[in-house]
Amino acid sequence: MSLIPLAAFFLALLIGTIMIAFLGANPLVAFQALLKGAFGSMNAIADTVVKATPLLFVGLGICIAFRAGVLNIGGEGQLVAGALSATIVCLNFPNLPGWILIIIALTTGLLCGAIWAGIAGFLKAYFNVNEILSTIMLNYIAAYGMNYLLSGPIMDPLQIRLGSFIPQTARLPQAVDLPRLIPTRLHFGTIIAIVFAILVYVFLWRTTIGFRIRMIGQNIQASRASGINVQKYMVLAFILSGALVGLGGAIEVLGVHHRIFTDGSVSGFTGSAGFNGIVAALFGQLHPIGTIPASLLLGALLTGANKMQRVVQVPSALIGALNGLIVIFVVGSEYLRRCQTRRVERTEKVKKNSKNIDEKETE
Amino acid sequence: MEAIIIGIAKSAIRLATPYLYASIGETIGQLSGVLNLGVDGVMLMGAFSAFYTVLKTGNLILGLLMAIVVGAIFGLLIAFVNVTLKAEQGISGIGVYIFGLGLSSFLFRTMVGTVETVSGFPPLSVPLLSNIPIVGEIFFHQNILVYGAFALVPLAWFILNKTPLGLCIRAVGQHPETADSLGVNIVHIRYLTVIFGGMLSGIAGASLSIALLNVFQQNLTNGMGFIAVALVYFGAWRPATVLTGALLFSTVNAIQIWIQVKGINIPSDFTLMLPYIVTIAVLAAMAKRRIHPPAALNKPFERGE
């Protein structure tokens, strides 16, 4: 574990401090409000964890994809695909026993996320379509698809009867609410997320398929030469990645919102979790276990930012800007780290060489 | 019918403007070997700075200059991260996008807050040419940023193909080792192209906020910058083909807006989806053409020692 992500984090925070001061607000008061909002009470801590949960799911998906060398930026769309499909399932089979419906809904969410990401994976592997662009486009397609469905076909019948037409579905049957852990908003989905973090770790580092996925990310030519079907594993990485994100979307519905809603914008439902999850994964050094504390930290920032906005009128969009900076700093500092290791290697080599010469001379 | 087609064609020409600035800038950057995926974020920052300046001063030229300066600063940041720090360009670009999106929203919320409009660049009729029936109406009753965007295409072509600088840029992107051994400063060339691309992205944003739409809102571009990057692939790194792509997209957009305005009974969400679906389809179709990107694209230069 290197200190680079933390350095990146504090550098971003420093810039955030300057920006807050620039607004004429007292940064100390602002950060105090942020900390209080994130950890100030039992409810605040629970909210932080609840906020971190989808970030962890997205982050885990990103870990698999990035490790395979494919940049899945489609977290937003995959979250929507998972959430939307789970909602539709729950709305259509309200009479099934709760726990069966929960399992079906989560599985559907997982599958739809996988399919949505699989499209990009397929296009990348067999048509060489840049996956960053295709996943971004799929984000918009998913968001507008959701907005369409919410504007009519699956709109809450009550909204239609009242004539208020708020674009949201009916509340899902209470039977499918994920169990609460303590009397806060904390729900069972967080535990599922942590279990999956461990599973992803075991998968990537302890199984053959995981090894191959990491191998094509490390060196695609060597993988091809050693007989790995690179295309197949690329698609697989996308599918697994999307499955985790889709599951995260479904859990967000069953655990937190109990319905789907939109404000018309593309990130109305997800709250940009699809992008923030990327930040979490990079911050966790693309390691599933490292992504857990990284998601928590970002979840705390996002939760605290809402409080900060109320107390010192610093818009919570600030956190979005800081997240971008964290990404830039983390990828930017990779080079410095590489330089350092190279320098160490070189000095060791020089030492070895001079040792050899010394030995020869003594001979 | 004729009036409808003229109307759509006219707005297609207008709407090609932001795509053109952004994707010509990206083309030049990619030809030198730098993949900048943060275009959308830079466009948002350019759009906001131009909008805010015009809102406060009413000076359109100053607004445009602000967008160029902010674009250049972002270009410098992108160049520093990708060229000097040799970052993974795909991920750093997403970082720049998230940063630009967040910062422009943050500044908008703190400095403006509500929906406001400005009066943008007015249409400028070209003498004589604007009197030509139909053609004059479609092409020569546009604002100055539209003319600038179309003038940029032959200019970029000329610089890239007919000047020593253009040769250097393409050499740096195709075969940096050779260029380096001939004494071309790869770092300088890449900084130059990326900063220039940043400026153009800034103008692209400004063209939205102070010439075409004359408003600013959070995420005003709605992924336009990413489509601009896709257009570079579509255009096979040639300005003229990039122009074709930009026109294709702006026509799709113009038709979509026309459908909405006319109240034709297609859900607006479907028409809004159209450009993104077309982008994916176009990217997939391009793969069949076997045109290779610049060899050193997305590869930081390391001098072998």
**Distance, CA of B19 to CA of B51 (rounded, Å):** 18
Question: Residue B50: which residues within 8 A CB-CB, separation 6 or more?
Answer: B63, B64, B66, B67, B202, B205, B206, B209, B210
The answer to whether B22 contacts chain A (CB < 8 Å) is no
Q: Output the pLDDT for position B88.
A: 86
**More confidently predicted of A128 and B209:** B209
Pairing of strands B141-142, B124-125: antiparallel
Instruction: Identify the residue with better confidence: A160 or B188.
Output: B188
Residue B304 CA: distances (Å) to CA of B81, B82, B180, B288, B295: 21, 19, 11, 35, 17
**How does pLDDT run across A209-221, given as a tens digit for each residue?**
999 999 999 888 8
pLDDT for residue A98 is more than 70:
yes
Q: H helices then E strands: how many in chain A?
A: 14, 0
Judge whether residue A74 has pLDDT over 80: yes
3-state secondary structure of A180: strand
Tell which wins on pLDDT, A274 or A6. A274
Tell me the average pLDDT across A175-180: 87
What would you report as the CA-atom Rg of chain B, rounded to the nearest whole angstrom? 19
Instruction: Please name which of B161, B37, B26, B16 lies closest in space to residue B96, comparing C-alpha atoms.
Output: B37
Report whether A116 contacts A65 (CB < 8 A).
Answer: no
How do the domains of chain A map onto residue ranges? 4-351
Instruction: Choose, out of B23, B36, B280, the residue to mutate when testing the contact with A (most A CBs < 10 Å).
Output: B280
Interface size, chain A vs chain B, as Cβ–Cβ contacts under 8 Å: 156
Spell out the long-range contacts of A173-181 with Cβ–Cβ below 8 A and sequence spacing 24 or more: A173/A90, A173/A94, A173/A98, A173/A101, A175/A94, A175/A97, A175/A98, A175/A101, A176/A90, A176/A98, A176/A101, A176/A102, A176/A105, A176/A254, A177/A254, A177/A255, A177/A258, A178/A102, A178/A251, A178/A254, A178/A255
pLDDT for the residue numbered B304: 65
CATH of domain A4-351: 1.10.3470
For testing contact with chain B, the best of A272, A279, A327, A329 (most B CBs within 10 A): A327
What is the pLDDT, as a whole number, of residue B125? Answer: 84
Which range (A50-59, A237-246, B262-271) has the least confidence? B262-271
Please give the pLDDT value at position A162.
82
Residue B290: pLDDT band with limits 50, 70, 90: low
As a whole number, mean pLDDT of residues B87-96 equals 90
- In chain A, the residue whose alpha carbon lies closest to the alpha carbon of B272 is A144
Q: How confident is the model at residue A77 (pLDDT cuts 50, 70, 90)?
A: very high
Nearest Cβ partner of B270 from A148, A265, A319?
A148
Mean pLDDT (chain A) is: 89
A269: enclosing H helix or E strand: none
Q: Count each helix (H run) and each strand (E run) in chain B, helices first.
A: 12, 2
For residue A269, name the pLDDT band (cuts at 50, 70, 90).
confident
B138: tokens are 């479609």
Mean pLDDT of A93-117: 93
Residues A305-338 pLDDT 10s: 988 888 888 888 898 899 999 999 988 887 777 7
This prediction has a pTM of: 0.91
Q: Do B93 and A147 touch (CB under 8 A)?
A: no
Note whether B102 contacts A324, CB cutoff 8 Å: yes
pLDDT digits (tens, 9 = 90+) for B173-206: 999 998 998 889 999 999 999 999 999 999 999 9
Average pLDDT over residues A232-237: 95
